[in-house]
């Protein structure tokens, strides 16, 4: 089984998240896509997160009518920061050794990837798939290679997939609501 994994704070989830997952499903031939709201994102330690239950409920509402899309509460069930390595290990126990995991990330996140907890082991347990956001600068391949190794950086760059052009972000939605 080929599983796409889309994690994030989903504060709030929006149509671009869903469209990104649809594009990845088509490009990679994924059987299912799991949306995984982070309980406490370690790279976004912030106090302006909506309550966990609300972000989980919003995520479920956003994908309820999309076949093959579902929401996992795997990170909400754990205490502390939501590290991807812990999530992948939990999903491996849930789906078994034959499941293939494709972790969908925005191409702008590639710069942070070398700082992720146990990135070497993590890149052996899942395949990172950068989704190229329209208008985003090309990620720095050399910087990624320093963090994950040249072979893994080449593999990650080889899996880049285009994202549908939608000019929307969670931070923009929050800003508009505040205004």
What pLDDT sits at residue 16?
A: 86
Q: Over pLDDT 90: what percentage of the chain?
A: 56
Interatomic CA distance for residues 113 and 117, integer angstroms: 9
pLDDT of 67 strictly over 90 = yes
Interatomic CA distance for residues 26 and 178, integer angstroms: 36
Tens of pLDDT along 74-108? Answer: 999 998 888 999 999 999 999 999 999 999 998 87
CA angle 125, 118, 73 (to 5 degrees): 65
Residue burial 40-71, b: 16+ Cβ < 10 Å; e: rest: bbeeeeeeebbeeeebbebbeebbeeeeebeb
What pLDDT sits at residue 53?
A: 94
């Amino acid at each position: 089984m080929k599983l796409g994994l889309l994690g994030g704070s989903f504060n709030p989830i929006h149509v671009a998240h869903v469209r990104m997952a649809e594009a990845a499903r088509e490009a990679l031939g994924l059987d299912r896509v799991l949306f995984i709201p982070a309980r406490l994102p370690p790279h976004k330690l912030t106090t302006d997160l909506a309550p966990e239950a609300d972000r989980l409920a919003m995520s479920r509402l956003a994908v309820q009518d999309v076949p093959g899309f579902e929401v996992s509460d795997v990170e909400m069930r754990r205490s502390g920061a939501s590290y991807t390595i812990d999530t992948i290990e939990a999903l491996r126990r849930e789906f078994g050794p034959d499941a293939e995991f494709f972790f969908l990330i925005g191409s702008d996140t590639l710069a942070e990837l070398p700082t992720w907890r146990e990135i070497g082991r993590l890149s052996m347990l899942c395949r990172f798939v950068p989704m190229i956001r329209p208008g985003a600068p090309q990620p720095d391949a050399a910087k990624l290679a320093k963090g994950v190794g040249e072979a893994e950086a080449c593999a990650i760059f080889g899996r880049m997939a285009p994202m549908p052009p939608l000019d929307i972000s969670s931070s923009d939605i929050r800003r508009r609501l505040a205004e």
